[in-house]
Structure 1
Amino acid sequence: MAKAKKHEKQAERQEMSGIERLGLRVSSMINHPVAQVQRWVTIHRLDTDGEREWKEVMGLLSETDGIDMTFNEDESVTLRWEASADEDRPVEVVEPIEEPAPF
């Protein structure tokens, strides 16, 4: 009985589409802490990335404001971006005011 329920749960699980998988991989690479510090990342096309999916995701990226795309000879794509206005703001350091002790 337990095996039957386990099999049903696996059957309910939906497979990710190719575009979802590629989008998740690209998003993860862009949001990686190292990429955020250096403000660039190179995305390599894998054998599992279909032509339609690759074009779709690259098209979406090309429409995104603030991203500069460079298509490399090895079919990889390098994305570069500038810091957002929130990241450019200087950090304010507030010194606590020392109050005399109440005793």
Structure 2
Amino acid sequence: MSNASRPSKPAQRQEMSGIERLGLRVSSMINHPVAQIQRWVTIHRLDTDGDREWEEVMGLLNETDGIDMTFNDDESVTLKWEASPDQVGAAVVMEPVEEPAPF
């Protein structure tokens, strides 16, 4: 009963750094199923992305083997990559199924 009468300690919220936020956003965009199928994604720089954070993440991507980077005029970056050996031939083509008319 003594536990119920004590005020609970508020959980501490850890703020993400700018580089963590940007890294998470870029990672999410790269790992999105559509990006994985088409094997490219365009990353737009947001107003909240600081110069240091943007340069750091773009530098890491530039050092990554298998990623081609294109810096666009609108300050966005397009990333393209080839299918990894375990992805080659992994695409499944779904044939349309004709459904009977509902009437």
Task: Specify if TM > 0.5.
Answer: yes
> Any stretches of 5+ residues in structure 2 without a counterpart?
92-103
SS state at 1:87 partner: coil
Task: Write the distance in 1 (CA, Å) between the matches of 2:8 and 2:29.
Answer: 36
> Any stretches of 5+ residues in structure 1 without a counterpart?
92-103
* Counterpart position of 1:98: none
**Deviation of 1:89 (Å):** 5.0
Paired-residue identity, %: 78
The structure where helix makes up a greater share of residues is: 1
Structure 1 residue 76 and structure 2 residue 76: aligned? yes
Q: What is the letter of the counterpart of residue 5 of structure 1?
A: S
Runs of 4+ residues over 4 Å off in structure 1: none
Return closer, same or farther for 1:24/1:90 CA change in 2, 3 Å cut-off. Answer: closer
Task: Write the distance in 2 (CA, Å) between the matches of 1:62 and 1:79.
Answer: 10
Tell me the TM-score normalized by structure 1: 0.78
- RMSD of equivalent CA atoms: 2.0
**Deviation of 1:42 (Å):** 0.1
* Counterpart position of 1:95: none
Q: How does 1:50-89 map to 2 (within 5 A)?
A: 50-88=50-88
Q: Which of 2, 5, 15 matches 2:8?
A: 5
- The number of aligned residues is 87
* Counterpart position of 2:97: none
